[in-house]
Amino acid sequence: MTDVIPAPDAPRVPVRGGGRFPVHRIYCVGRNFAEHAREMGAQAPASPAARGRPVFFMKPADAVVVDGEAPYPPATADLHHEVELVVALGRDAPPGPLAVEDAPALVFGYAVGLDLTRRDLQAEAKRAGLPWDIAKGFDASAPVGELVPAAEAGDLRGRALRLSVNGVLRQQGTLDDMIWSVPEILHELSKLYRLRAGDLVFMGTPSGVAALSPGDRGRAELDGVGVLDFRIVAPQV
């Protein structure tokens, strides 16, 4: 049997040291930093025992942008930046829930990325109790920097995330402030989905999210992992 249309190419993220990482799915964690949860008008959990279940949403794999150039999307007047740690999985998870202690073995590497968000559409969706898809999963909504293999990146404890726009610092936070750690998130995701090699997980953003405009240039950084220089280009018509 032959394909009746050309098969789309998997989006691919360049890897430091050579090679490309084909993307299978993009999972995202919401409200993983207390200060950001509060700036969004949500409550942060009072203790680890009160965390409940993480907030998850997805973006399509082809939302990935690897050259740093993201067009200002349609249907919004309030495009926001969210700088995040991105975790790339290099192995399929076994069937069933993945133990927290087995999760690190699945990780291929890390990058810094942007969870671009149509904040006005997200606010509408929240008010109406509707899904976030149109606010989060749009074309070119997932700029990602170069992937760094886990061994090269080393222990991520204490690392800082930072984002500046036109030379002005907008967001800064430490990965130590994540409410859910990377292994805990992989464990929680594995209860809901079969994790696969090629999956990316956006781990949530610290406070300071704000609007972007066409022509803005920015830099997202994760200490010891990498830098993503990005530009918001004119809307595509």
> Toward Mn ion, which CB reaches closer, 82 or 146?
82
Dihedrals phi, psi of 120, to nearest 5 degrees: -65, -40
Q: What angle do CA 158, 163, 167 make, to 5 degrees?
A: 130
> Toward Mn ion, which CB reaches closer, 37 or 89?
37
Nearest to 181 by CA among 148, 146, 157, 145: 157
User: Where in 99-158 is the site for Mn ion (CB under 5 A)?
Assistant: 115
Question: CA-CA distance, 86 to 168, in Å (whole number)?
Answer: 23
Smallest gap from Cβ 112 to Mn ion, in A, equals 13
Smallest gap from Cβ 102 to Mn ion, in A, equals 26
With contact defined as beta carbons under 8 Å apart, do 42 and 122 qualify? no
User: Where in 87-106 is the site for Mn ion (CB under 5 A)?
Assistant: none
Smallest gap from Cβ 59 to Mn ion, in A, equals 10
Q: Which of 11, 57, 81, 82 binds Mn ion (CB under 5 A)?
A: 82
Dihedrals phi, psi of 47, to nearest 5 degrees: -155, 165
Smallest gap from Cβ 205 to Mn ion, in A, equals 5
> Toward Mn ion, which CB reaches closer, 115 or 221?
115
> Toward Mn ion, which CB reaches closer, 84 or 146?
84
> Toward Mn ion, which CB reaches closer, 115 or 188?
115
Q: Which two tokens stand for residue 28?
A: 């995202």
> Toward Mn ion, which CB reaches closer, 164 or 207?
207
Q: Are strands 12-14 and 160-165 parallel, antiparallel or unpaired?
A: unpaired
- Count the site residues for Mn ion by CB under 5 A: 3
Residue nearest Mn ion by beta-carbon distance = 115
Smallest gap from Cβ 203 to Mn ion, in A, equals 8
> Toward Mn ion, which CB reaches closer, 108 or 202?
202
Count of C-beta atoms within a 10 Å radius of residue 151: 7
Smallest gap from Cβ 117 to Mn ion, in A, equals 7
With contact defined as beta carbons under 8 Å apart, do 106 and 91 qualify? yes
* Helix, strand, coil percentages in the chain from 3-state DSSP, rounded to 5: 20, 35, 45
User: Where in 181-220 is the site for Mn ion (CB under 5 A)?
Assistant: 205
Smallest gap from Cβ 28 to Mn ion, in A, equals 6
With contact defined as beta carbons under 8 Å apart, do 79 and 117 qualify? yes
Q: Residue 59: beta bridge partners?
A: 26
59-67, 80-88, 189-197, 223-231 -> range binding Mn ion (CB under 5 A): 80-88
Written as one letter, the residue type at 62 is D
Q: Which residues bind Mn ion (CB under 5 A)?
A: 82, 115, 205
